[in-house]
């Protein structure tokens, strides 16, 4: 109160007699004192310890006052942004008060003393620690600064800690040269110090002089250069803000995995560009959009912008854009008065004029609602150049709507955490004390996988499992599969409720309940298109834009997938529809489907059923009338395996698994629904399908069934099947006939794989086919011309009784893959050249083919040719110039290979026991691709030396003698030393090694060590391009060759960036065996040096 009384006494005595200038100076003193009073009051309220003082003594820093919502306690030390050093007698009640307040208003944590030190006290350890822990020190050098030993000691300590760096001097009312040379008032002060500290204490005075000289030579601010004191304060604060970003933490604490996103958003943010930008951050709920925006806001708002505002679009706003805009204006202008001039429809010109010259940073968080909301929110306001606006939303369409044509827009998609970061974040919350998680490893990974990289889910689940036992964890995980966490679901549910349109909500629920694995978008659109829906394509796009679906784009189409947490949320919505299972719209839980089908409790409410038979605990005895009340049934999926695992299941295992799972001993009555779009029933146990309306049928999938015919005689009226796109009857071994499908004009995919009793019907297939799989059937012939299938992309006729390929009378511009392996064909027609886009041709095990047509070379797009096991093939024709893979293994009559295309990077000729030579070697690729190539000639024992020198080959044959031409052999069975000629590395080298082994030989057992003339060694232990592990039950000779170090990048990888000079100094290579287990005779090797023009043997 002493200072307060002085203020009012001053006002009462002098205001009446002073000039205007003097009154303003007096008011300046009053305001500075009031500022100090407010911070003194705050400090007393925090009960921080203080030091006793003498009011007549000068003061530098004592106990701290921290600019934050709560000051740290003595037990919890906190680092400061700024340490403020000053002579209280000169500046405390004016300039320092303004500067301190300005720093605090910018959120800069500042250490400033509020007390004085008693005469004779040394600087406290607390004060010294505060200096050490401050990022920047501001030293205000004033007229009486040098009179205070404590201020001088403080300066010495500051310069010692900061080493003259991160110290900002302010020369307040004094010339820098006075400080530097200690003249005028500083000379007087030092005369007193020298008198007081004469004798042994003069060293301290010398330290003070040196410190003043050093600080005066640092870059700082001189108050004489500023007309107004407020400008000096503004300049100092700006200087501090520009320096602080250097000290931004790169470790974001518990914000694991955020660094990459911060860097990417900063690149879009482009703080130095002077355009106006809106940056959208888009992603699902809980993915970290707000966190990312907050980090950028904290980093840049204070230091680079005139006004800034972080505004959340809360549900309380109720979609009222005007109220949200009022909050925005009030925060940016820090003044509510202008709002009276703003109106919902037309923005205030007065407000617009105030914004025109403000460089602003606005974060609009969690924006939702109509697509025009962003434009209405900004209301045509123009901001100064360099302004930035970040908008976070779950709705991409809202972000895509431009508010102003001049804005540069970018939308950043926020992805989930990768597996490593997800595990780290979850561990951080589940084990906050970094305690040992022994025994929890598998559980940690399970929960991390469940969350699929969603930070909110990882944080919530980690916190809920903290300090719980392993048994409690296991119980919680089981519960999560059925009852997801309510807090997570509450956040995610917002996106679903915001969809509005029931048709789009139904698409979401269908995806959540029935498509638990990725599905092609084209297929999903076909199945979901219904008259009462919004167009399915539009609805799916809306779900993608609102982060409720994930779309992956590939060359052959787009795959759609739903995040597991969103699936659980959608399934929860359906479960809440009704307690009675028969009155829910969708059934997908095994026990629920089992109950409804066996108890016959289905109703017209049911629109879809999904049953995974592998999850059944016991067989289902389906009531004959189980489906008779389901008038609105659209989906029926009774599946053995999902789409992807099916490929790994053999036919025998497939039928064994599903046998008897669904019991239809009493048959199955007709379906009453006219809405069935997907009929999928694996291992269907009856001879015929039940009757149902096929008007809307899109997919018919009945794999591994007991079907003999699709429908019985009464149902075989002409089939229109106008909407049918896919029919899959694969592995139905009893199927003997399929109906005439020529009227199914939209049918694109037919799969009859391994329907081994199916002999005909292929001639009645429609013309629009894209995929035709007839492999493993009994068909013997094709239609006269396959050209009618002009859209066909894949044709599989492998392992059929096919004996002839029809003439291809016209170009087929879509067919990219043909599988003819295991057929009886003897030749291919010359017209095969009309397959103009063919990329893959499979003719494996066609043991009647002796020759291939010469027109094969005209297939310019052919990349892969598989002829394995063509045991009658005697020669190869000229091959296409773009061929990349050629497989001719087990072509036992093939004696030579003519010129091979330069594009070839894989040649497999294993077990070509008659092969002797390859005529032309111009095809060998040059660097950098040669290390990626494989040329395998395993067991080609007749191959000549010239070919052996050229190729990467591998030969294994029975025997126990190493060929004589292997001149170098191991010393004691462990290593071979080979001397290298100069410049050996310019053309690369080939190592050929040989051994007699028994039982097993592994490629990981070998290494090569290069040695320089001065004894340095460089190891190469991964030189085998394709690893091998040969196993036999008798003695075998093994020969292998490898091209080594054939490219600059490979040399650099082994020897480092200075590889050229190192390789020039390498004189010896040592080929070593790590252990001799299995090797019966000494290892031998031979080295070939390849130059640019010719090959040399070394």
Tell me the pLDDT tens digit for each residue of 586-628. Answer: 999 999 999 999 999 999 999 999 998 888 888 889 989 999 9
Range from 669-673, 859-863, 866-870, 988-992 carrying the lowest mean pLDDT: 988-992
pLDDT exceeds 80 at position 538: yes
R_g of the chain computed on alpha carbons: 41
Strand ranges across the sheet with 557-561: 519-520, 557-561, 550-554
Angle between helices 259-269 and 289-304 (to 10 degrees): 50
How is residue 340 written in tokens? 């009276």
Note the pLDDT tens digit of each residue in 917-941. Answer: 877 655 454 444 444 466 777 778 7
Give me the pLDDT at residue 960, please: 74
Range from 13-22, 946-955, 974-983 carrying the lowest mean pLDDT: 13-22
Range from 54-63, 176-185, 219-228 carrying the lowest mean pLDDT: 54-63
Burial class (CB in 10 A: 0-12, 13-18, 19+), 12: exposed
Give me the pLDDT at residue 7, please: 41
- Where helices occur in 250-405 by DSSP H, the ranges are 259-269, 289-304, 321-333, 349-356, 373-378, 396-400
Give me the pLDDT at residue 820, please: 97
pLDDT exceeds 70 at position 434: no
Sign of CA dihedral 876, 878, 881, 882: negative
Per-residue pLDDT band for 653 (boundaries 50, 70, 90) equals: low
Exposure b/e, 472-484, CB count within 10 A at least 16 = b: ebeebeeebeeeb
Range from 197-201, 218-222, 721-725 carrying the lowest mean pLDDT: 197-201
Size (the chain), residues: 1098
Give me the pLDDT at residue 403, please: 42
Is the separation of the CB atoms in 1071 and 991 below 8 Å?
yes
Over range 74-101, report the average pLDDT.
78
Range from 17-31, 95-109, 1010-1024 carrying the lowest mean pLDDT: 17-31
Apex 372 CA angle, 369 and 378, nearest 5: 105
Note the pLDDT tens digit of each residue in 768-787. Answer: 999 999 999 999 988 877 88
Is the separation of the CB atoms in 381 and 325 below 8 Å?
no
Angle between helices 486-497 and 455-465 (to 10 degrees): 160
Return the residue matching tokens 């039982």.
999
Is the full-model pTM beyond 0.85?
no
Count of CB atoms situated within 10 Å of the CB of 542: 22
Average pLDDT, the chain: 79
User: Which distant-in-sequence residues (6+ apart) come within 8 Å of 289 by Cβ?
Assistant: 281, 282, 283, 365, 366, 392, 393, 414
pLDDT exceeds 50 at position 362: yes
Q: Higher pLDDT residue, 961 or 44?
A: 961
Over range 144-154, report the average pLDDT.
91
Give me the pLDDT at residue 1094, please: 38
pLDDT exceeds 70 at position 44: no
Q: Higher pLDDT residue, 582 or 643?
A: 582
> Distance (Å, rounded) from C-alpha 936 to C-alpha 954?
6
Over range 1071-1084, report the average pLDDT.
63
Range from 6-15, 31-40, 552-561, 652-661 carrying the lowest mean pLDDT: 6-15
Give me the pLDDT at residue 1023, please: 56
pLDDT exceeds 50 at position 28: no
Domain ranges of the chain: 46-244, 248-413, 419-483, 957-1097
> Distance (Å, rounded) from C-alpha 585 to C-alpha 630?
10
89, 114, 154, 793: the catalytic one is 154
Count of CB atoms situated within 10 Å of the CB of 70: 7
What CATH number is given for 46-244 in this structure? 3.40.50.10140
Range from 648-662, 708-722, 839-853 carrying the lowest mean pLDDT: 648-662
Give me the pLDDT at residue 20, please: 39
Give me the pLDDT at residue 1090, please: 54
Exposure b/e, 310-338, CB count within 10 A at least 16 = b: bbbbeeeeeeebeebbbbbbebbbeeeee
pLDDT exceeds 80 at position 986: no
Burial class (CB in 10 A: 0-12, 13-18, 19+), 82: buried
> Of all residues in the chain, what percent carry a pLDDT higher than 90?
30
Q: Which of 53-57, 64-68, 588-592, 664-668 has the highest mean pLDDT?
A: 588-592
pLDDT exceeds 90 at position 726: yes
Give me the pLDDT at residue 980, please: 83
Per-residue pLDDT band for 57 (boundaries 50, 70, 90) equals: very low
Return the CATH superfamily for domain 248-413.
P-loop containing nucleotide triphosphate hydrolases (3.40.50.300)
Is the separation of the CB atoms in 415 and 453 below 8 Å?
yes
Residue 154 annotated as catalytic: yes
Is the separation of the CB atoms in 708 and 735 below 8 Å?
yes
Apex 911 CA angle, 917 and 934, nearest 5: 70
Q: How far is CA 852 from CA 794, 802, 833, 875, in A?
A: 21, 17, 12, 8
Determine phi and psi for 1071, rounding to 5 degrees.
-95, 120
Exposure b/e, 400-428, CB count within 10 A at least 16 = b: eeebeeebebeebebebbeeebbbbbbbb
Sign of CA dihedral 511, 512, 514, 516: positive
pLDDT exceeds 70 at position 974: no
Exposure b/e, 718-753, CB count within 10 A at least 16 = b: ebebebbbbbbbbbbbebeebbebeebeebbbbbbb
Sign of CA dihedral 756, 761, 763, 768: negative
Give me the pLDDT at residue 52, please: 32
Give me the pLDDT at residue 168, please: 94
Range from 444-448, 823-827, 1042-1046 carrying the lowest mean pLDDT: 1042-1046
Note the pLDDT tens digit of each residue in 345-355. Answer: 555 677 777 88
Give me the pLDDT at residue 1076, please: 57
Give me the pLDDT at residue 680, please: 94
Closest-CA residue to 1098 (of 959, 958, 980): 980
Per-residue pLDDT band for 1082 (boundaries 50, 70, 90) equals: low
Burial class (CB in 10 A: 0-12, 13-18, 19+), 120: exposed
Closest-CA residue to 532 (of 727, 746, 724, 677): 677
């Amino acid at each position: 109160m002493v200072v307060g009384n002085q203020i009012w006494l001053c006002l009462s005595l002098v205001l009446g007699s002073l000039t205007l200038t003097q009154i303003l100076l007096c008011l300046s003193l009053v305001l500075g004192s009031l500022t100090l009073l407010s911070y003194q009051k705050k400090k007393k309220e925090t009960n921080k310890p203080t030091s006793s003082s003498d009011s007549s003594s000068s003061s530098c820093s004592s106990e701290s006052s921290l600019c934050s919502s709560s000051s740290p306690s003595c037990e919890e030390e906190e680092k400061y942004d700024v340490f403020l050093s000053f002579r209280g007698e000169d500046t405390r009640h004016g300039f320092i008060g303004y500067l301190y307040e300005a720093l605090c208003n910018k959120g800069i944590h500042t250490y400033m003393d509020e007390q004085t030190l008693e005469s004779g006290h040394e600087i406290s350890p607390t004060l010294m620690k505060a200096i050490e822990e401050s990022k920047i020190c501001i030293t205000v050098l004033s007229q009486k600064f040098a009179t205070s030993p404590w201020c001088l000691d403080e300066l010495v300590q500051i310069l010692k800690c900061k080493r003259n760096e991160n110290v900002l001097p302010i020369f307040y009312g004094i010339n820098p040269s006075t400080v530097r040379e200690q003249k005028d008032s500083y000379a007087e002060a030092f005369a007193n110090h020298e008198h007081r500290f004469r004798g042994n204490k003069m060293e301290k005075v010398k330290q003070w002089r040196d410190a003043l000289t050093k600080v005066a030579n640092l870059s700082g601010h001189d108050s004489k250069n500023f007309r107004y004191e407020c400008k000096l304060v503004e300049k100092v604060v700006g200087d501090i803000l520009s320096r602080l970003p250097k000290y931004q933490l790169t470790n974001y604490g518990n914000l694991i995995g955020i660094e990459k996103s911060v860097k990417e958003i900063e690149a879009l943010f482009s703080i130095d560009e002077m355009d106006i930008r809106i940056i959208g951050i888009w992603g699902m709920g809980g993915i970290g959009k707000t966190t990312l925006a907050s980090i950028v806001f904290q980093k840049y708002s204070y230091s680079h912008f005139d006004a800034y505002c972080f505004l959340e679009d809360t549900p309380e706003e109720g979609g009222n854009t005007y109220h949200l805009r009022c909050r925005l204006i009030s925060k940016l202008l820090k003044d509510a008065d202008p709002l009276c001039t703003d109106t919902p429809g037309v923005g205030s010109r007065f407000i617009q004029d105030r914004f025109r010259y403000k460089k602003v940073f606005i974060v609009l968080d969690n924006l939702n609602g109509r697509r025009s909301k962003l434009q209405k929110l900004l209301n045509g306001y123009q901001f100064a150049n360099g302004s930035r606006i970040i908008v976070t939303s779950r709705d991409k369409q809202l972000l895509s709507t431009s508010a102003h044509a001049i804005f540069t827009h970018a939308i950043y998609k926020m992805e989930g955490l990768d597996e490593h970061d997800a595990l780290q974040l979850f561990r951080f919350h589940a084990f906050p004390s970094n305690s040992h998680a022994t025994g929890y490893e598998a559980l940690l990974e399970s929960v991390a996988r469940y969350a699929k990289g969603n930070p909110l889910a990882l944080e919530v689940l980690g916190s809920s499992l903290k300090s719980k036992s392993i048994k409690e964890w296991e119980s919680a995980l089981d519960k999560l599969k059925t009852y997801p966490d309510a807090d997570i679901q509450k956040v995610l549910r917002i996106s679903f409720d915001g969809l509005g349109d029931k048709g789009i909500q139904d698409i979401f629920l269908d995806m959540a309940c029935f498509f638990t694995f990725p599905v092609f978008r084209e297929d999903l659109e076909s199945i979901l298109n219904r008259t009462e829906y919004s167009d399915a394509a539009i609805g799916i796009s809306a779900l993608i834009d609102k982060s409720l679906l994930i779309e992956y784009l590939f060359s052959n189409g787009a795959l759609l997938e739903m995040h597991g947490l969103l699936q659980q949320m959608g399934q929860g919505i359906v479960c809440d529809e009704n307690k009675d299972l028969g009155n829910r719209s969708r059934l997908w839980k095994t026990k629920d489907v089992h109950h409804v089908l066996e108890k016959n409790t289905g109703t017209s409410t049911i629109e879809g059923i999904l049953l995974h038979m592998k999850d059944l605990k016991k067989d289902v005895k389906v009531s004959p009338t189980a489906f008779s009340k389901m008038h609105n049934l659209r989906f029926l999926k009774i599946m053995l395996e999902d789409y992807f695992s099916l490929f790994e299941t053999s036919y025998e295992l497939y039928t064994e698994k599903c046998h008897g799972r669904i019991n239809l001993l009493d048959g199955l009555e007709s379906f009453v629904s006219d809405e069935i779009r997907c009929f999928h029933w694996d291992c269907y146990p009856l001879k015929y399908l039940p009757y149902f309306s096929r008007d809307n049928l899109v997919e018919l999938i009945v794999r591994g069934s007991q079907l003999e015919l699709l429908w019985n005689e009464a149902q075989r009226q002409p089939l229109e099947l106008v909407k049918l796109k896919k029919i899959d009857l694969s592995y139905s071994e009893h199927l003997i006939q399929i109906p005439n499908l020529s009227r199914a004009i939209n049918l694109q995919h037919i799969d009859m794989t391994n329907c081994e009793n199916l002999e005909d019907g292929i001639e009645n297939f429609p013309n629009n086919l894209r995929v035709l799989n007839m492999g493993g059937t009994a068909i013997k012939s094709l239609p006269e011309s396959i050209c009618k299938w002009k859209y066909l992309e894949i044709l599989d006729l492998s392992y059929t009784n096919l004996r002839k390929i029809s003439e291809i009378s016209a170009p087929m511009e879509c067919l990219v893959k043909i599988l003819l392996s295991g057929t009886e064909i003897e030749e291919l027609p010359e017209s095969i050249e009309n397959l103009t886009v063919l990329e893959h041709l499979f003719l494996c095990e066609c043991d009647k083919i002796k020759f291939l047509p010469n027109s094969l070379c005209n297939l310019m797009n052919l990349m892969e040719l598989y002829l394995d096991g063509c045991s009658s093939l005697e020669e190869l024709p000229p091959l296409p110039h773009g061929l990349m893979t050629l497989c001719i293994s087990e072509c036992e009559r093939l004696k030579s290979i003519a010129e091979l295309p330069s594009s070839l990077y894989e040649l497999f000729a294993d077990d070509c026991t008659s092969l002797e030579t390859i005529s032309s070697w111009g095809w060998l690729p040059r660097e950098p691709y040669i290390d990626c190539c494989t040329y395998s000639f395993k067991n080609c024992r007749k191959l000549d030396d010239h070919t052996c020198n050229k190729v990467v080959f591998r030969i294994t044959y029975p025997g126990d003698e190493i060929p004589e031409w292997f001149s170098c052999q191991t010393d004691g069975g462990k290593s071979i030393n080979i001397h290298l000629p100069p410049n050996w590395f310019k053309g690369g080298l080939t190592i050929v090694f040989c051994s007699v082994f028994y039982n097993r030989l592994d490629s990981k057992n070998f290494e090569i060590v290069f040695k320089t003339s001065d004894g340095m060694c460089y190891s190469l232990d991964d030189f085998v391009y394709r690893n091998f592990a040969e196993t036999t039950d008798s003695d075998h000779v093994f020969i292998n060759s490898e091209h080594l170090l054939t490219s600059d990048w490979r040399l650099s990888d082994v020897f480092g960036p200075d590889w050229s000079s190192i390789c020039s100094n390498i004189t010896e290579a040592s080929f070593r065996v790590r252990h001799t287990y299995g090797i019966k005779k000494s290892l031998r090797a031979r080295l070939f040096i390849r130059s640019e023009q010719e090959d040399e043997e070394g």
